[in-house]
């Protein structure tokens, strides 16, 4: 028995669901790879500060500047005046002379692009500098003299008007 009268059905290739499945899966993988590449290029890692060291996969903080702050007996009170756009600091040292300038590093807990470095000028333990309003969130704070011999560290929430810092051996 012969089926010479029957012909296979021929239609347009784009009407076949299997063709779309074969094309869609690799296309989705290529699109996902391009998105991953774009995220990797534009979302680079933040630079690790100089008082940290990396050994293998672990990162260690260098406690030398914290210990130096304990040795000089450093204490500071910072006051944020959002209305005037000013940051004021009162510094007391048990030993040593007060520096001419203080560096204040404000680091946002989750967004590195919000981080700030403010230079405070003054004398006699009173310092001031300009500071634009801070974005909402949790902030880390570091106060250090311009020679970076010691540092005071702490944290605060945006909107807080006063922060007390004292040297703590770590």
pLDDT (tens digit per residue) in 137-159: 999 999 999 998 999 999 999 88
Q: Does pTM surpass 0.75?
A: no
pLDDT in tens, 15-32: 888 888 899 999 999 999
Confidence of residue 3 (pLDDT cuts 50, 70, 90): low
DSSP count for the chain of H helices, then E strands: 2, 10
pLDDT in tens, 105-132: 999 988 888 999 999 998 878 999 999 8
CB of 75 within 8 A of CB of 166? Answer: yes
pLDDT in tens, 45-103: 666 555 555 566 565 677 888 888 999 999 999 999 888 889 999 999 998 888 999 99
In CATH, the architecture of 62-166 is Sandwich (2.60)
- For 125, residues 6+ apart whose C-beta sits below 8 A from its C-beta are 90, 91, 92, 93, 98
Question: Which tokens sit at 27?
Answer: 């296309």
d(CA 22, CA 52): 50
- Domain ranges for the chain: 13-42, 62-166
């Amino acid at each position: 028995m012969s089926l010479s009268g029957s012909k296979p059905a021929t239609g347009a290739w784009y009407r076949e669901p299997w063709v779309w499945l074969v094309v869609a899966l690799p296309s989705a993988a290529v699109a996902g790879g391009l998105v991953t590449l774009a995220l990797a290029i534009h979302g680079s890692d933040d630079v690790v500060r100089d008082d940290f060291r990396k050994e293998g996969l672990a990162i260690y903080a260098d406690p030398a500047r914290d210990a130096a702050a304990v040795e000089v007996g450093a204490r500071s009170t910072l006051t944020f005046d959002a209305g005037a756009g000013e940051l004021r600091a009162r510094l007391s040292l048990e030993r040593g002379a007060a520096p001419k300038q203080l560096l204040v590093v404000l680091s946002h807990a989750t967004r590195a692009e919000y981080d700030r470095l403010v230079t405070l000028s003054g004398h006699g333990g009173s310092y001031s500098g300009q500071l634009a309003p801070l974005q909402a969130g949790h902030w880390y704070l570091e106060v250090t003299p311009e020679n970076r011999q010691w540092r005071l560290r702490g944290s605060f929430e945006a909107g807080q008007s006063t922060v007390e810092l004292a040297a703590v051996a770590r």
